[in-house]
């Protein structure tokens, strides 16, 4: 959470070479390239790997937050439908990029090894730097840059932004939906346990896992398309209600894979895993799009970019909390990389717990989907 907000405060308060967005995108691309280059060459222990991963995560955080800020600024004052179209375009592009990378990932690892793949990956962030040159942004004049650069001005600007964020978050129409988003994301997850199951128990190879990643990337793009075509004008409460129930029910199908019932039905583990991942990812992406739209629509004038980063950080914090709770349940039930006796029970508990936030749907706004979002400037 702190990382995302600091990233955006830097880009808002300290322009580089006269630009607040373009220069930071270029910088993040270079930083990402350095990170993956280190992984491909000199990294040979867990500490250097951790440092390289941190650098890569910082690069992704910078670019992601800067792009989100530009989207929010363009969606400001628009209807839910228009905001949904903008978010669909962004996440559809992300899903398409994931398809391209996932197609070769597993086979390249099997054929050439991980360091070769890291080396190839190092070139990808440079594309961010190249595309950033095309960002339509007005260069700041020398007077504006001189006002932004002094350290005292940066500190005062940061304090002012924090006060504005706190003033905005305290408002019930922002705080209550944000609380729902956090709780909706904080339900326990069994993803880590399932990963160990399919790799250690079933024995899926890296190449096959790459194919599954390809399928899920296609499914993400399909989920974005479904939301943009049929759901972007549907009230948020209805979308969350239906997708949460469907997700809980369909998530139970993983029990069939764990218990081997899929093979008794004549479906191999590979095809069942692909089909299951496809359906769950489509539903998951379609249900996550309203979170992005809601976060963008909650942002008042004056702090829209920074507040959006804060809201999405809270959403990510909810996912982290859900992962930690899921890890605690996994340990409590005795599920390990070699013992999966209670994995089916873990899956059932996690999927049933995803229904717990439903009584709190009243925290979400219940206005007309295409009505003006009623944003007001925060002084």
Q: What is the spatial distance between Cα 133 and Cα 49, in angstroms, rounded to a whole number?
A: 31
Do 346 and 44 meet the contact criterion of CB atoms below 8 Å apart? no
pLDDT tens digits, one per residue of 245-298: 999 999 999 999 999 899 888 999 888 988 888 888 888 888 888 877 777 777
| CA gyration radius, the chain | 22
Q: What is the spatial distance between Cα 267 and Cα 280, in angstroms, rounded to a whole number?
A: 18
- Domains, the chain, ordered by start: 2-132+161-363 (1.20.1250.20)
pLDDT tens digits, one per residue of 189-203: 888 888 888 888 887
Q: What is the spatial distance between Cα 79 and Cα 147, in angstroms, rounded to a whole number?
A: 35
Q: What is the spatial distance between Cα 294 and Cα 311, in angstroms, rounded to a whole number?
A: 10
Q: pLDDT value at position 23?
A: 81
- Please name every residue paired with 19 in a beta bridge, in sequence order, or none if there are none: 16
Do 39 and 50 meet the contact criterion of CB atoms below 8 Å apart? no
Q: Distances from the Cα of 120 to the Cαs of 75, 110, 123, 218, in angstroms?
A: 35, 14, 6, 22
Percent of the chain at pLDDT exceeding 70: 75
Q: pLDDT value at position 18?
A: 61
Q: What angle do CA 109, 279, 333 make, to 5 degrees?
A: 75
pLDDT tens digits, one per residue of 169-189: 777 878 888 888 899 889 998
Task: Give the residue carrying structure tokens 């739209």.
Answer: 293
Q: What is the spatial distance between Cα 182 and Cα 316, in angstroms, rounded to a whole number?
A: 8
Do 99 and 218 meet the contact criterion of CB atoms below 8 Å apart? yes
Q: pLDDT value at position 21?
A: 72
The upper half-sphere exposure of residue 118, i.e. CA atoms within 13 Å in the direction of its Cβ, equals 17
Spatial CA neighbour of 360 closest among 235, 90, 179: 179
Q: pLDDT value at position 84?
A: 64
Do 285 and 224 meet the contact criterion of CB atoms below 8 Å apart? yes
pTM: 0.69
Query: What does the block give as tokens for 241?
Result: 């209600």
The parts of the chain modelled with pLDDT lower than 50 are 1-2, 145-149, 151, 368-379
Long-range contacts of 114-122 (CB under 8 A, 24+ apart): 115/39, 115/40, 115/41, 116/40, 118/36, 118/37, 118/39, 118/40, 119/36, 119/37, 119/40, 119/41, 121/36, 121/39, 121/40, 122/32, 122/33, 122/34, 122/35, 122/36, 122/37, 122/39, 122/40
Q: pLDDT value at position 352?
A: 94
Q: Is 371 exposed, middle or buried (0-12, 13-18, 19+ CB in 10 A)?
A: exposed
Q: pLDDT value at position 255?
A: 92
Q: pLDDT value at position 284?
A: 84
């Amino acid at each position: 959470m702190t990382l995302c907000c600091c990233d955006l405060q830097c880009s808002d308060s300290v322009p580089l070479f006269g630009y607040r967005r373009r220069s930071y995108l270029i910088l993040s691309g270079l930083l990402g390239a350095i990170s993956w280059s280190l992984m491909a060459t000199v990294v040979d222990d867990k500490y250097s790997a951790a440092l390289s991963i941190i650098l890569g995560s910082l690069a992704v955080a910078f670019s992601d937050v800067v792009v989100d800020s530009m989207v929010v600024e363009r969606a400001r004052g628009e209807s839910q439908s228009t905001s949904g179209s903008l978010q669909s375009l962004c996440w559809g592009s992300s899903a398409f990029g994931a398809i391209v990378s996932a197609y070769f990932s597993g086979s390249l690892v099997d054929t050439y090894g991980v360091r070769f793949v890291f080396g190839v990956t190092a070139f990808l962030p440079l594309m961010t730097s190249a595309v950033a040159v095309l960002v339509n942004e007005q260069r700041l004049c020398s007077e504006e840059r001189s006002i932004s650069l002094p350290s005292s001005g940066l500190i005062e600007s940061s304090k002012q932004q924090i006060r504005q964020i706190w003033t905005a978050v305290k408002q019930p129409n922002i705080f209550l939906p944000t609380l729902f988003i956090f709780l909706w994301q904080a339900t326990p997850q069994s993803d880590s346990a399932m990963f160990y199951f399919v790799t250690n128990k079933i024995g899926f190879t890296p190449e096959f896992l790459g194919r599954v990643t390809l399928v899920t990337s296609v499914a993400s793009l399909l989920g974005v398309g479904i939301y943009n075509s049929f759901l972007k004008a549907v009230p948020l409460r209805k979308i969350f209600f239906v997708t949460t129930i469907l997700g809980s029910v369909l998530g139970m199908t993983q029990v069939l894979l764990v218990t081997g019932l899929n093979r008794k039905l004549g479906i191999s583990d590979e095809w069942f895993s692909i089909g299951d991942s496809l359906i769950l990812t489509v539903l998951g992406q379609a249900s996550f799009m309203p979170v992005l739209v809601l976060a963008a629509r909650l942002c008042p004038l004056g702090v829209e970019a920074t507040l959006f980063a804060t809201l999405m950080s809270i959403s990510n914090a909810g996912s982290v909390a859900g992962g930690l709770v899921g890890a605690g349940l996994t340990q409590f039930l005795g599920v390990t990389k070699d013992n999966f006796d209670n994995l089916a029970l873990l899956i059932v508990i996690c999927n049933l717990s995803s229904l717990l936030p439903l009584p709190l749907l009243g925290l979400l706004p219940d206005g007309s989907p295409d009505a003006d979002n009623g944003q007001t400037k925060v002084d």
